[in-house]
Amino acid sequence: MTKVAVVGAAYTKFDEHWDKSLRDLSTEAGAKAILDAGLEGKDIKALFIGNMSAGRFIGQEHLAALTADHVGLTPIPATRVEAACASGALAFLHAYLAIRSGQYDIVVAAGAEKMTDIKGTDAIATLMGAGDQEWESAIGLTFTGLYALIAKAHMHKFGTTREQMAMVSVNNHMNGSLNPNAQFPKEITVDDVLNSPMIAEPLSVLDCSPITDGAAAVVLAKEEVARSTRNPIWVLGSSQASDTLALHNRKSLTEMSATKAAAKNAYEQAGLKPSDINIAEVHDCFSINEILAVEDLGFCEKGQGGNFVEQGSIKRDGSKPVNTAGGLKSIGHPVGATGIRQVVDIVKQLRGEYGQLQVNGAATGLALNLGGSGATAVVNIFGKEQRETFKTF
């Protein structure tokens, strides 16, 4: 069975794009990724796109065919995949499986979202489509509210502090300040976070990722094709898992069981342990979630995520650099695009060509993309060297 590599990767500036529509952003990201791969449009055999809610944000479903149309690639197979904020990574996973199935040799996996065309309050309501409509949305919960419950539970159980959560945002903004494609490329301080307006206690506005327009795309190719490209980055593991949508049905508020399940399979596929991972992109939609992520991915013990952050382990010169290009917090979070954007950042780091963002010596990287309050988790593991073992579940 063929092995698969990422051979092209790009994302647009993440921003409020008043002059570009969703199709413009997807096309820009896709064209850049194909050029980055040294390929042409005619080489692409299929298209996958992750998008959460274009139906509500811009009145447009059927986004994959629309994208194939706008980029001039019809009649290629075009599939939209949706799992809330994990839509991007899930599009990647299915593009990967489609190549493994033998159906295609070169595939684009993209992610895109245009969130700023509706009112902010409508955007918040739209995003609650990722939660349980009958149990959560209907009673007025928001995602900040849901993650505030998680944060409170984590603080209560493990002594995690607001300052530690703030340090997540500070680190991501420090990294993002060097990223020209970030929506908010500026440094902030712990005091900035603590003194910013409270959204849902204990999460203030600077604990929260923003509303963003943007798109990202990668080109995946089977081994024979990948080996002829200049710098393939290999997919070592790719796995997804599900959990209850509604928080009240979870056994624990302080861990993401879907993350743990997806990570276990992805590590096993890759034949790697958490300690073998050099860099990671994790889903910091809210600061507390990065703390849960480093725990649930096995980078530190459960409950030690706050200390792990405080000790500087996640910094670019720390033991486990996390969100090295700015994370959702600083780069922005166009929800369907984020999972692919994370892959792009891992690929650029592993290629060793990320300029001022480069973390030296990174040979393995992991990306964790979550949907909702963790009901979907997707873990993809990448390496400069090919070494996967493919497991059937």
> Closest Cα partner for 214 from 371, 357, 376, 24?
24
The site that binds a copy of itself (CB under 8 A) totals a number of residues, namely: 73
Question: Per CB under 8 A, which of residues 260..279 are in contact with a copy of itself?
Answer: 261-262
Residue 181 is encoded by which pair of tokens?
A: 């494609």
User: Which of 43, 100, 185, 311 is close enough to bind a copy of itself by CB under 8 A?
Assistant: 100
Report, in Å, the least distance between residue 339 CB and a copy of itself: 13
Return the number of other C-beta atoms located less than 10 Å from residue 197's C-beta. Answer: 7
Residue in 85, 208, 285, 300 annotated catalytic: 85
Which part of the chain contacts a copy of itself (CB under 8 A), choosing from 98-106, 168-176, 192-200, 205-213? 98-106
Question: Per CB under 8 A, which of residues 76..95 are in contact with a copy of itself?
Answer: 76-84, 90, 94
Q: What is the 3-state secondary structure (H, E, C) of 117-155?
A: CCCHHHHHHHHHHHCCCCCCHHHCCCHHHHHHHHHHHHH
CA–CA dist 368, 263 (Å, integer): 8
Q: Does 18 bind a copy of itself (CB under 8 A)?
A: no
Q: Does 158 bind a copy of itself (CB under 8 A)?
A: no
Question: Per CB under 8 A, which of residues 159..218 are in contact with a copy of itself?
Answer: none
Q: Does 134 bind a copy of itself (CB under 8 A)?
A: yes
Q: Is-contact 94 79, C-beta < 8 A?
A: yes
Which part of the chain contacts a copy of itself (CB under 8 A), choosing from 133-141, 185-193, 204-212, 315-323? 133-141
Return the number of other C-beta atoms located less than 10 Å from residue 140's C-beta. Answer: 9
Question: Per CB under 8 A, which of residues 238..257 are in contact with a copy of itself?
Answer: 239-246, 249, 257
CA–CA dist 86, 318 (Å, integer): 27
DSSP assignment of 137-201 equals GGGT--HHHHHHHHHHHHHHHH---HHHHHHHHHHHHHHHTT-TT-SS-----HHHHHHSPEEET
Report, in Å, the least distance between residue 98 CB and a copy of itself: 5
Q: Does 12 bind a copy of itself (CB under 8 A)?
A: no
CA–CA dist 312, 57 (Å, integer): 38
Nearer Cβ to a copy of itself (202/374): 374
Whether 333 sits among the annotated catalytic residues: the reply is yes
Nearer Cβ to a copy of itself (10/78): 78
Return the number of other C-beta atoms located less than 10 Å from residue 231's C-beta. Answer: 18
Nearer Cβ to a copy of itself (104/299): 104
For CA atoms 131, 296, 347, 319, the dihedral sign is positive
Residue 165 is encoded by which pair of tokens?
A: 């959560």
Whether 85 sits among the annotated catalytic residues: the reply is yes
Direct distance between the N- and C-terminal alpha carbons of the chain, in angstroms, rounded to an integer: 16
Would you say how long the chain is, in residues?
Answer: 393
> Closest Cα partner for 313 from 138, 117, 144, 171?
171
Which part of the chain contacts a copy of itself (CB under 8 A), choosing from 11-19, 223-231, 234-242, 346-354? 234-242
User: Which of 116, 183, 376, 380 is close enough to bind a copy of itself by CB under 8 A?
Assistant: 376
Q: Does 38 bind a copy of itself (CB under 8 A)?
A: no
Residue 205 is encoded by which pair of tokens?
A: 């506005």
Report, in Å, the least distance between residue 127 CB and a copy of itself: 9
Nearer Cβ to a copy of itself (139/230): 139
Q: Does 42 bind a copy of itself (CB under 8 A)?
A: no
Which part of the chain contacts a copy of itself (CB under 8 A), choosing from 120-128, 140-148, 202-210, 339-347? 120-128
> Closest Cα partner for 78 from 70, 89, 67?
67
DSSP class of residue 299 equals S
Q: Does 392 bind a copy of itself (CB under 8 A)?
A: yes
User: Which of 42, 133, 353, 385 is close enough to bind a copy of itself by CB under 8 A?
Assistant: 133
Residue in 17, 154, 283, 333 annotated catalytic: 333
State the Cα angle at 307 between 267 and 174, rounded to 5°: 85
Active centre residues (catalytic): 85, 333
